[in-house]
Amino acid sequence: DSGVTQTPKHLITATGQRVTLRCSPRSGDLSVYWYQQSLDQGLQFLIQYYNGEERAKGNILERFSAQQFPDLHSELNLSSLELGDSALYFCASSVGTGVYGYTFGSGTRLTVV
Amino acid sequence: GENVEQHPSTLSVQEGDSAVIKCTYSDSASNYFPWYKQELGKRPQLIIDIRSNVGEKKDQRIAVTLNKTAKHFSLHITETQPEDSAVYFCAANTNQAGTALIFGKGTTLSVSS
């Protein structure tokens, strides 16, 4: 167990729908990073939050949004889902704003049908 | 944007042979280069990392080398074992992604006995 908790583990939904993925970082970690992993694209960085504030954006679509709450858990919201959004979504956490000690959760597998 | 390129995409070796995976990066400000191992259906796990003030680092059968001038770094696995079979990802931090890690597309290593 890495200490980073992601729920749910699996999610199946229809095109056009909206889903929310949840991540609780390791105790003491203030940064949360979201990644999308599809078969041919590897691990794509989506967005980073640090202590409640958005810190950096990667290749995140406008249909996707995220936030980090006062208790430091983070949610990734995916809307108007398309078949191509089917992927594994990982979050990772680290202590501060640096990348040392980056630890991944077990991921949420999203299937859009 | 900043990216990390990784080669080869697949690598097959016999048990006991060595395996080498190479990555190049584009951001000259990158100073942290971790390697992650991902077994099927599991989360990526850190196996070794190197910082820019070091040229080489070893941990038992695994070593990483860094050439900052050429902007490339490599993972070396000696005396490979079947349990080394997995997908390996290199990564680098980049200023453009804040403090997030940008990953290569991965190398699928197969070790046959």
Whether the per-residue pLDDT at B67 is higher than 70: the answer is: yes
pLDDT, tens only, A59-92? 899 999 999 999 999 999 999 999 999 999 999 9
For the residues B13-37, what does the mean pLDDT come to?
Answer: 95
Cβ–Cβ under 8 Å, residues B20 and B74? yes
Q: How many residues can be counted in chain A?
A: 113
Q: Which of B10, B94, B99 would best serve as a mutation to test chain A binding (most A beta carbons within 10 A)? A: B99
Whether the per-residue pLDDT at B63 is higher than 80: the answer is: yes
More confident position, A58 or A13: A13
pLDDT at B98: 66
- Whether B43 and A107 lie within 8 Å, measured CB to CB: yes
% of chain B beyond a pLDDT of 70: 96
Alpha-carbon span A33 to A56, nearest angstrom: 9
Give the one of A55, A105, A107 whose C-beta lies nearest to B99's C-beta. A55
Give the one of B44, B45, B101 whose C-beta lies nearest to A99's C-beta. B101
Alpha-carbon span B16 to A102, nearest angstrom: 31
For the residues B84-99, what does the mean pLDDT come to?
Answer: 86
> CA of A96 to nearest chain B CA: how many angstroms apart?
10
Q: Which of A9, A43, A60, A94 would best serve as a mutation to test chain B binding (most B beta carbons within 10 A)? A: A43
Alpha-carbon span B64 to B44, nearest angstrom: 18
Confidence class for position B96, pLDDT limits 50, 70, 90? low
